Amino acid sequence: MKASVYIIKIGGNIIDDEARLQEFLRSFSHIQALKVLVHGGGKLATKLADTLNIPQQMVEGRRITDAETLKVVTMVYAGLINKSVVARLQAMQCNAIGFSGADGNLIKSNKRGTAQLDYGFVGDVELVNAPLLTQLLRDGYTPVIAPITHNGHGQLLNTNADTIAQEIAKALAPFFAVQLLYSFEKKGVLLDVDDDGSVIPVIDPTSYQNLKTAGKIFAGMIPKLDNAFAAIQAGVDKVIIGQAEELDMLVQGKAGTMLINGK
């Protein structure tokens, strides 16, 4: 029987809020199972770039990463935020160890190339070092992973944290019973984006198609759900989407939206 592992992605809105981050990490540290934390960067990188007079360009929520911006996000994501989270978890007796994708060849990526838009130094995940993660988990460490990867030729790349969490979950699925949790500001997938009480508790591929056809899924949630079901098809046991403040309940399957295979 496979051991369980939780891959938990924390949203940038939690990173930006000291009190919410501390409470989230306390709940995370109490999870009595193998676990991996993937974090984004929040607004701190943008604030530092403004201080350094480095112009920032966002397209559909994604940061265009030029050479100077890459320096900023590497310092903030893989430096200050990653090590601050690790230090807080250590204070909670959670033996965390911080990584960027370059450390231990953890995550190798390819520079994104599209004819329509040059995202700059942005990476799409090519390979996750599952043996390294497996060894760390079995040795009692809790990896904390920043969204900076590398291309194998000395170039760092800014990489979407949601995607990193999904790719790690898929890479570990042959070795563990994997649950992928996306913790953000909403209580789950909502029938009405303005009503936090309209959480859909369980979605399988059939009900997902029906909800999309009926126009019941908020458009901004569709890419996240498409990726989540791709992870399930790749062997991830389940994906849970919910509010960071309810992490304890999410882990128990008593809150948020659970995405399952349906077979």
pLDDT along the chain (263 residues), means of 10: 94 89 96 96 87 85 88 96 98 98 98 80 96 97 98 96 94 96 88 86 91 82 85 92 92 91 73
Whole-number Å distance between alpha carbons of 260 and 225: 11
pLDDT digits (tens, 9 = 90+) for 147-174: 999 999 999 999 999 999 999 999 999 9
Beta strand pairing call for 123-128 and 107-111: antiparallel
Amino acid at 158: N
pLDDT of residue 138: 96
pLDDT of residue 115: 60
Instruction: Tell me the CATH number at 161.
Output: 3.40.1160.10
pLDDT of residue 223: 79
pLDDT of residue 263: 61
Whole-number Å distance between alpha carbons of 96 and 183: 19
Beta strand pairing call for 257-259 and 238-243: antiparallel
pLDDT of residue 220: 73
Q: Are 112 and 63 in contact (CB under 8 A)?
A: no
Could you tell me the residue range of the domain that residue 146 belongs to? Answer: 4-259
- Domains held by the chain: number: 1
- Provide the token pair at 132: 């390294």
**What separation in angstroms does the CA of 241 have from each of 13, 46, 97, 98, 260?**
15, 26, 25, 24, 12
pLDDT of residue 80: 96
pLDDT digits (tens, 9 = 90+) for 64-88: 899 999 999 999 999 999 999 999 9
